[in-house]
Amino acid sequence: MLNGLAVGCIYGLVALGFVLIYKATELVNFAQGDLLMLGAFTCYMFVVWYGVGYWVAFALAVALVALFGAVLDATILRRIIGQPQFSVVMLTIGLGAIFRSFASIAWGSEIYTLPTPFSARATRLAGVAVSHEYVSIIIGTVVLCAVLYAFFTFTRIGLAMQASSQNQLAAYYMGIPVKLMFSLIWAISAGVAAIAGVLLAPVSLIDINLGFIGLKAFAAAVLGGFGSIPGALVGGITIGLIELFSGAYLPQGFKDVAAYVVLLVVLAVRPQGMFGAITRKKV
């Protein structure tokens, strides 16, 4: 149960990254999972190769990946805004392939484990062994969500971001630097992906295919309704639990595809998801 919840939180965090970017710029970032992989690898590099402390490495990895996201937006993705969605999909798929290739050249295609302060420790809680890694994921998700919520509701920059995602032109007329806001959104989204990567690292192992978790996070984002932040988290947790239960009660093999089956069913039955709204052009 706790495992499903924790994995679901990771899906939710990655889905949150999709949703943030989608809401702001209407781009769907297929490279989100690969940003997560970059985050995990960067943290691993700092901890194991350079011997930096875990928390410092965590912060450094998140900051680096966030910066990378902002630079990515400013140099590449900004050129594509306003072009058909298809171009964006292809562009981010291409970027994802580049990231994976970069990771395999820079860090090799071996599988690594990240040592953390909570590795292989467990507390007995009401008779059940609760491993600290899973608890750390859940706590991390809750804290991150609270921080993001506070940021978007109470700070000037957060409000400016909301404004520019609702109407770019109007926000621009009001003196909001929309381009900068978009870069910041990319930075936040990449940072969230990196956090998810570092939190996930002790549970799952780090290798260059870690990014494929992004595909399952799509299921989470769609289930929650693409474009709804609470929806992304709820969707992620739901997918995590569904995976857990289908692994326990259904024949072997269903666990891996459960998320995709849910995704297809949701898209066929209720494309707007649990919390989304669908828009149609009025003539």
Partner 1 sequence: MSVRFVFKTSYDQDLGIFRDDVQRNWYLALLVGLLVLPLLIPAYVVDVSLVFIYGLCGLSLMVLAGYTGLVSLGHAAFLGIGAYTHVYVVHDLGLPWVVGVALACVVTAAVGVLVGLPALRMTGVYLSIATLAFALIIQEALTRWERVTGGLKGKAVEKPVVFGVHLGGDTAFYFLCLAFLIAGLWLTGNLLRAPTGRAWVAIRDSEIAAQSMGVNLAVYKTSAFAYSAALMGVAGALFAHKIGFLAPDIFTVLLSIQFLLMVVVGGLGSLHGALFGAVFVALLPVAISQARDSIPVWLSAIASPFGKEAGAATFLAVDQFVKKPGLEPGLFGVILVLFILFEPLGIYGRWRKIQLYFSTFPLYKRATFRRQKTYMRSERLR
Which residues bind to partner 1, rule: CB under 8 A?
A: 26, 28, 76, 79-83, 85-87, 89-91, 93-98, 100-105, 109, 168-169, 208, 215, 218-219, 222, 226, 252-253, 256-257, 259-261, 263-264, 267-268, 271, 279-281, 283
Give the nearer residue to partner 1 in terms of CB position, either 202 or 276. 276
Give the nearer residue to partner 1 in terms of CB position, either 94 or 115. 94
> Least distance from C-beta 85 to partner 1, angstroms?
5
Give the nearer residue to partner 1 in terms of CB position, either 86 or 249. 86
Could you tell me the two tokens for 141?
């998700």
Beta bridge partners of 125: 128
> Least distance from C-beta 119 to partner 1, angstroms?
28
Give the nearer residue to partner 1 in terms of CB position, either 2 or 89. 89
> Least distance from C-beta 76 to partner 1, angstroms?
7
> Least distance from C-beta 130 to partner 1, angstroms?
31
CB 167 within 8 A of CB 160: no
Q: Helices 229-249 and 132-154 meet at what angle, rounded to 10? A: 160
> Least distance from C-beta 40 to partner 1, angstroms?
16
Give the nearer residue to partner 1 in terms of CB position, either 17 or 140. 17
Give the nearer residue to partner 1 in terms of CB position, either 190 or 263. 263
Q: Could you please report the per-residue DSSP string of the chain?
A: -HHHHHHHHHHHHHHHHHHHHHHHH----TTHHHHHHHHHHHHHIIIIIS---HHHHHHHHHHHHHHHHHHHHHHTGGGGTTS-HHHHHHHHHHHHHHHHHHHHHHH-S--B----TTTT-EEEETTEEEEHHHHHHHHHHHHHHHHHHHHHHHSHHHHHHHHHHH-HHHHHHTT--HHHHHHHHHHHHHHHHHHHHHHHTTTSPB-GGGGGHHHHHHHHHHHH-TT-HHHHHHHHHHHHHHHHHHHHHS-TTHHHHHHHHHHHHHHHH-TTTTT--------
> Least distance from C-beta 62 to partner 1, angstroms?
24
Could you tell me the two tokens for 259?
């998320």
Give the nearer residue to partner 1 in terms of CB position, either 28 or 163. 28
CA-to-CA distance for 138 and 250, rounded, in angstroms?
A: 26
Give the nearer residue to partner 1 in terms of CB position, either 63 or 247. 247
> Least distance from C-beta 259 to partner 1, angstroms?
8
> Least distance from C-beta 54 to partner 1, angstroms?
28
